[in-house]
Amino acid sequence: MYNSIDSLKQTTIFIYFLIFFTFIFLFWKILSKADLPINEIMIKGQYESIDSEQIKLIANEYLVGNFFAINLKRTQNAFKKLPWVRDVSVRRKWPDKLLVTIEEHNVIARWGNVGLINNYGEIFNAAFQDDLPIFNGDDRFAVDITKKYFEINEILSKELMQVGTITLSNRLSWEIITDNQLRIILGKDNGLKKLSLFINHYQDVLFKVKKRIDYVDLRYKDGFSVKVINESLRKFKKEKIIL
């Protein structure tokens, strides 16, 4: 008898759920066909490199249907295909608006000869004419190189320099060339600490060598070596400096 009562309860609950979901389904079908047009598309976000005409074309092509029937995911994916779009969100705003929020890539450097890289260490492909620093390395190191780039620039800024090229080899050895063409070999270990030490003594080094520096090798335990250029003879002289 108890089993019969339990079975009856389960059947009743199932029927209630079935009625409920059927009602929801039919209600949604009615709304999707109702006369509730989208009368305004609001595009938010600060962007300079994204073509506004491209945005309008996508809006006209993909924002089809009434307020409830529009396919937000399909529209979002269409916007993401634009070269300079990093992320986008598309949502409804009652009663007749659609809000599109666009985040543009913030480009900081060129990724070798194949693309650009943003401040998150994400590689993307787009056209860009202005001069940019150059990052070299395997794609899997993109985030690490980006992080190191900001850290190195902070150190170099003490002498009004910045990174022109930064390279991370497959052996995880770092090398940079500054915007004034000073080559600095950081190596693997304690590179930032040694770079900071060198920059703190940069003016002393210039005063001591009294020549233009070709490159600095920071891979020494107790100091660093400096290679200078003899401008009159165009010869190079290597000198180790102990600190």
pLDDT at 28: 47
> Could you tell me the pLDDT band of residue 7, with boundaries at 50, 70 and 90?
low
Residue range 56-79: average pLDDT? 80
In terms of average pLDDT, the best of 12-21, 33-42, 214-223 is 214-223
Question: Could you tell me which of 93, 116, 97, 80 has the C-alpha nearest to residue 39?
Answer: 97
Band (121; pLDDT cuts 50, 70, 90): very high
Please state which of the ranges 41-55, 78-92, 184-198 shows the lowest mean pLDDT. 41-55
Cα angle 216, 157, 201 (rounded to 5 degrees) comes to 45
pLDDT tens per residue across span 141-199: 999 999 999 999 999 999 999 999 999 999 999 999 999 999 999 998 888 999 999 99
Q: Which pLDDT score, from 0 to 100, does residue 30 have?
A: 45
Tell me, what's the pLDDT at 93?
A: 87
The DSSP output letter for 162 is -
* CB count in 10 Å sphere of residue 17: 10
The pLDDT assigned to 140 comes to 95
Show the tokens assigned to 92: 């409804």
20 vs 196, higher pLDDT: 196
Q: State phi, psi for 239 to the nearest 5 degrees.
A: -140, 130
Q: Is 164 or 4 the better-scoring residue by pLDDT?
A: 164
Closest CA to 147 of 168, 128, 161: 168
DSSP secondary-structure letter at 17?
H
Transcribe 19-79 into DSSP letters.
HHHHHHHHHHHHHHTSS----EEEEES--SSS-HHHHHHHHHHH--S-TTT--HHHHHHHH
- In the prediction, which pLDDT does 228 show? 87
pLDDT band for 94, please (50, 70, 90 cuts).
Answer: confident
Residues in contact with 208: Cβ distance below 8 Å, sequence separation at least 6, in sequence order:
241
User: Which amino acid is located at 220 in the chain?
Assistant: Y
What single letter denotes the amino acid at residue 3? N
Q: What is the share, in percent, of the chain residues with pLDDT greater than 90?
A: 45
β-bridge partners, 40? 97
Q: 184 - beta bridge partners?
A: 176, 216
